[in-house]
Structure 1
Amino acid sequence: MRGIISICLLLMLCGCADLGYYWHSANGHLRVMNQRVDIDELLADDSLETDLRERLELVQEIRRFSIERLELPANHSYASYVELDRPYVLQNLFAAAEFSTRLYEWCYPIIGCAGYRGYYDEDRMLAYADDMRSRGLEVYIGQVPAYSTLGWFDDPVLSSFINWPDYRLAGLLFHELTHQQVYIDDDTTFNESLASAVQQVGTELWLKSQNRGEDIDKLSRWLRYREQAIGSIEFTRETLAELYASDITDAEKRERKKQIFTDARKRHDAIAKTHQVNGGFTRWFADDLNNAKIGSVAAYNSLVPAFINMIHAHQLDFRAFFNYANAVGALEKRARDSCLAAWKQTTRPSGGDCPVIDSVRTTAS
């Protein structure tokens, strides 16, 4: 009921120009929610296929760990299951100007502004993408296997990710549940980087608790590859930003931009070869690159090191960490960014860089 009320409020708050989009979003979301089947009910069915039974039992095990060790919400999220008719639940559209790495933002009732726009209906999304391109913007569309309703609904387990490797399944659940624990309006980078940090550290802790040494090795290799790949993408973004700020002509910028993307692909090929990775960002780099695509990765990852440093500074006490993260999120945007920049460099920033640290450190101790 709470979720239905929230959707009604959202629609009432929308302007007429956006009403069609929000109506489509509400309908798409409710279609997914209405397909939910309780996991306990499924497990009680003797005819349930063995593979799905094992995956759902694993989800329950991961949820217990998320509550007992990571202090993530003890609610009914991921207590139900939905079988989708496609390998993703929705698609996100990102956009950026031709000579900017800054993502275009859309503002929504209740949750604030974000650097992406989600679509359940592909035809509607493609029409909007064409409209954005007609305005001179570059567009990137990414498939989304899961999303968080920030606690407004009891989010279900989806067929789009149920068969992922165990460590990736656990990480995804930790990531999405973190959005329910801490979410700062109008700051996509803060929210996604925080969730990615909890995902990484939480998955490592979960695998250790299971004595799954082989999976820990797989995760470690994956994280080393991912760190270098994302670092290369961030370097590409910074290089593009410098190019766009230069005084050369637009024609020269376009030529240089092509070369920067060519160099980015070569760097990734070398990174993937070093770590013997066939998946990862390989397909991502094989398709066209543009500012929106580069920006979409930066939005999810650029502050991950800062939040990992915070977690370890709080000695893996996740309740204290979440209290602190909420306090940082409550800072005015400029102070928040300064604080996070300091955390990115050290596990003990000075009080001047991070005004709330002393009071929270006392709480955490």
Structure 2
Amino acid sequence: MRLWLGRMLAVSMLLVVTACSSVSYYTQAVVGQLSILGKRKSLDRLIADDTTNQTLRNRLQFIQSVLAFADENGLPVKGAYSAYVDTGRSYVVWNVFAAPALDVELKRFCYPIVGCLAYRGFFAEQDARDYAQSLAREGLDVYVGGVAAYSTLGWFDDPVLNTFLARSDERLASLLFHELAHRVVFVKGDTQFNESFATTVERTLLKWWLIERGQASVFDAYLADEEKRRQSIALITDARRALAEIYAADEDQSRRMAGKQLRLARLKEDYEQLEQTWGTSGPYAGWMSQPLNNAQLGTVAIYHDLVPHFEALLTQSHNLPAFLDKVRELAKESEEVRERRLTALLERS
């Protein structure tokens, strides 16, 4: 306990050199994290307790089996998800994303220790929405997304949260694999690298996990869902690329803004046509029903743009431990070198 309190104190000490608004932000982050840590209950004790709801017991036992699989395959599980917390809400944090009205690149928010990230997180939804509104008043595109899980990068033993449990078995396993991957490597200030790497590990281990369980039909359904997701992401990526060209054009602002709205409207139309070919709603149906903007499209790029590059590195590595070692080495390089090497990997694959 002293170790994590010491780390919290170290972060708090940095606040004395920041503006009042920053002090307020970091205070809510520290209080929110301490609140979660203070509510932890041991998984082993909950499972052994006769008064524990059977549905909860079954989910916790399932999580322990997934963690054992992750550990066998080289992810740093030790201490993680050994406790449970009921947050009393649907999401544990809400992330705010922002981008200029005529730029596809997300605004970066900088913090002590972890560097600059593409989002700012809040433990209270209203705080997130209030902050998003303040950015919108500055003329930025904004998007607020609820998050069911986050990683403290091994600083603390992250607990299982109630926000995990309503997921299907495969989606819950995916979540655990993804968050554990963040314990392997974290590159300060490079959200896209970190999230695309974690997504690659998540997909790979989920495939192996389902095969080991002999759930061929579930794996086939998962692949079908992933194909829909891949096609959806391709549409979003194409739209984002087209928007970048519109924004870079030698036109006045009003023309570029008009071009932006037309391209976003076309993205929605393209997605509706895609759903018609599937005969069912797709993974981004709710997402597409909202007003679209640069910030929202940018959230997809964070998690997926570099996945093909990491998958190429995994294929070249032949096994997961070798892949993880190569990613650790890659993480030590400058951002320019990382990008060059990842691009070269994809070109050779």
- Measured against aligned partners, the alpha-carbon deviations of 1:58-104 in whole angstroms (never above 9, x if no partner) come to 100000000102x1013111111111221110100000001001110
Q: Does residue 1:187 correspond to 2:184, yes or no? A: no
| Structure 2 counterpart of 1:62, one-letter code | V
Q: CA deviation at 1:279?
A: 5.1
Match of 1:160, SS state, is helix
| Residue number in structure 2 paired with 1:330 | 332
Q: How far apart are the structure 1 equivalents of 2:86 and 2:124?
A: 17
Alignment deviations for residues 157-209 of structure 1 (CA, whole Å, 9 cap, x no partner):
11112120111111110000000111111100000000000001110000001
Contact 2:129/2:144 (<8 A) preserved: no
AA in 2 matched with 1:240? L
Residues 1-50 of structure 1: CA distance to partner in whole angstroms, max 9, x if unpaired?
A: 22222121112123331111111101011111111111111110123222
**For 2:79, what is the secondary structure of its paired residue?**
coil
Residues in 2 aligned to 1:333 and 1:55: alpha-carbon distance in whole angstroms: 40
Moved more, 193-202 or 246-255: 246-255
Deviation, structure 1 residue 277 = 4.7
Aligned pairs for 1:1-365 (under 5 A) are 1=1, 2-14=3-15, 15-17=17-19, 18-69=22-73, 71-278=74-281, 280-315=283-318, 317-347=319-349
SS of residue in 2 equivalent to 1:94: strand
Cα deviation digits, residues 243-283 of structure 1 (max 9, x gap)? 00001221111111111111111222233343455352100
Q: Secondary structure at the match of 2:163?
A: coil
Bigger drift between 45-54 and 235-244 goes to 45-54
Which amino acid letter does the alignment assign opposite residue 284 of structure 1? W
Q: Secondary structure at the match of 1:75?
A: coil
- Counterpart of 1:140 in 2: which secondary structure? strand
Length-normalised TM-score, structure 2: 0.96
Equivalent residue pairs, number: 345
Shift of 1:123: 2.9
- Counterpart of 2:164 in 1: which secondary structure? coil
Q: Distance in 2 between matches of 1:31 and 1:221?
A: 39
Letter paired with 2:56 = L
Q: Provide the secondary structure at the position in 2 that maps to 1:142.
A: strand
Q: CA deviation at 1:346?
A: 3.2
Task: Kindly report the root-mean-square deviation, in angstroms, between the aligned alpha carbons of the 2 structures.
Answer: 1.3
CA–CA distance in structure 2, aligned partners of residues 310 and 218 of structure 1: 26
Structure 2 residue ranges without an equivalent (≥5): none
Cα contact 1:232–1:264 (8 A) shared by 2: yes
Alpha-carbon distance between aligned partners in 1 of 2:248 and 2:302, rounded to the nearest angstrom: 20
| Aligned mates of 1:42, 1:140 — CA distance in 2 | 37
Whole-angstrom CA distance in 1 between matches of 2:161 and 2:278? 30
Is the CA contact (8 Å cut-off) linking 1:92 and 1:143 kept in structure 2? yes
Tell me the amino acid that sits aligned with residue 230 of structure 2. Answer: E
Q: Distance in 2 between matches of 1:340 and 1:191?
A: 13
CA distance in 2 between counterparts of 1:277 and 1:28 reads: 39
CA contact (8 A) 1:221 1:275 kept: no
Q: Distance in 1 between matches of 2:130 and 2:51?
A: 43
Any conservation in 2 of the 1:188–1:299 contact (CA below 8 Å)?
A: yes
TM-score by length of 1: 0.91
Q: Aligned partners of 2:285 and 2:264: how far apart in 1? A: 14
Superimposed CA distance per residue, residues 125-172 of structure 1 (whole angstroms, 9 cap, x where no aligned partner)? 222222211211111000000000000111111111212011111111
C-alpha spacing 1:170/1:132, structure 2 compared with 1 (3 Å): same
Distance 2:275 2:81 in 1: 33
Q: 1:215 and 1:328 mapped to 2: Cα distance?
A: 34
Which amino acid is 2:325 matched to? N
